[in-house]
């Protein structure tokens, strides 16, 4: 058993019979009344985020989790297949456990979060940025780079992203997977 003094960002705890990850926390010592810890928690089973306040010194259960690297192989509908590159063990994840699954392409390395005691996958995170080729977009106009106007584009994973007017079919772009937005054009 641990206490609120052991809180840190990224720590996983068991709270209300569910697994939660501490996204942010702040110890508060008001002038009047007992100290408390204000936290932002992310539910590891459904991804929901909540604000919660713990009384300082309250006992909590810490859950041991591990981050492991896996390579994405393919998907068949709602099931995604991944392989551990060290021992070639394969696992299957449901689409709802994967963050930004629309940007996942074959061969991409991802981080899968496991409940260490139960060997159960909790979530799958793509790298912060992925590079994908544009497969379809309306033709760009030469020299039209002065405005912030965006146009829709399809990338090789069939996801749609808004890109600047100068992006053309065949260009490789960097996409921020956390926001699902265009970041920059990649020079090859």
Taken in order 22, 64, 92, 20, is the CA torsion positive or negative? negative
CATH code of domain 129-186: 2.40.50.140
Residue 93 neighbours by CB distance under 10 Å: 22
What is the architecture of the domain spanning 2-62? Answer: Roll (2.30)
Q: Token pair 């106007």 is at which residue?
A: 149
Q: How far apart are CA 172 and CA 156, in angstroms?
A: 10
The pLDDT value recorded for residue 143 is 63
- Specify the domain boundaries for CATH 2.30.30.30 within the chain: 2-62
Task: Give 16-48 as a DSSP string.
Answer: TTEEEEEEEEEEE--SSS--EEEEEEEETTT--
- Largest Cα span, the chain: 65
All residues at 6 or more sequence positions from 11 whose CB lies less than 8 Å from its CB, including other chains? 21, 22, 62
* 46 class by beta-carbon count within 10 Å (0-12 exposed, 13-18 middle, 19+ buried): exposed
- Which tokens sit at 183? 């970041």
Q: How far apart are CA 172 and CA 178, in angstroms?
A: 19
CA 7 vs. chain centroid, Å, equals 21
The pLDDT value recorded for residue 87 is 92
Residue 185 neighbours by CB distance under 10 Å: 17
- Specify the domain boundaries for CATH 2.40.50.140 within the chain: 65-125, 129-186
The pLDDT value recorded for residue 96 is 83
Phi, psi for residue 125 in degrees, rounded to 5 = -115, 130
Q: How far apart are CA 158 and CA 102, in angstroms?
A: 7
All residues at 6 or more sequence positions from 179 whose CB lies less than 8 Å from its CB, including other chains? none
Q: Go through the chain and tell me how many residues it has.
A: 188
CATH code of domain 65-125: 2.40.50.140
Task: Encode the chain (188 residues) as per-residue pLDDT tens digits.
Answer: 889 889 998 889 999 888 998 989 999 999 888 999 999 998 887 778 899 999 999 999 999 989 999 999 999 988 999 999 899 999 999 888 888 899 999 999 999 989 888 888 988 889 999 999 999 998 866 666 666 788 999 999 999 999 988 888 999 999 999 899 999 999 87
């Amino acid at each position: 058993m641990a206490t609120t003094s052991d809180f840190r960002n990224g720590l996983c705890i068991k709270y209300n019979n569910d697994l939660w990850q501490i996204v942010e926390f702040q110890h508060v010592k008001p002038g009047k009344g007992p100290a408390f810890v204000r936290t932002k928690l992310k539910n590891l089973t459904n991804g929901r985020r909540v604000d919660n306040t713990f009384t300082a010194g309250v006992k909590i259960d810490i859950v041991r989790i591990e981050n492991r690297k896996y390579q994405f192989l393919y998907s068949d509908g709602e099931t995604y297949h991944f392989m551990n590159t060290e021992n070639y063990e394969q696992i299957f994840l449901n689409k709802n456990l994967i963050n930004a699954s629309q940007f996942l392409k074959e061969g991409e390395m991802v981080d899968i979060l496991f409940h260490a005691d139960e060997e159960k996958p909790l979530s799958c995170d793509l790298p912060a940025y992925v590079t994908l080729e544009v497969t379809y977009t309306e033709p760009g106009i030469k020299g039209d780079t002065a405005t912030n106007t965006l146009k829709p584009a399809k990338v090789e994973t069939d996801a749609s992203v808004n890109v600047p007017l100068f992006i053309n079919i065949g260009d490789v772009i960097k996409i921020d997977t956390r926001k699902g937005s265009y970041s920059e054009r990649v020079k090859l």
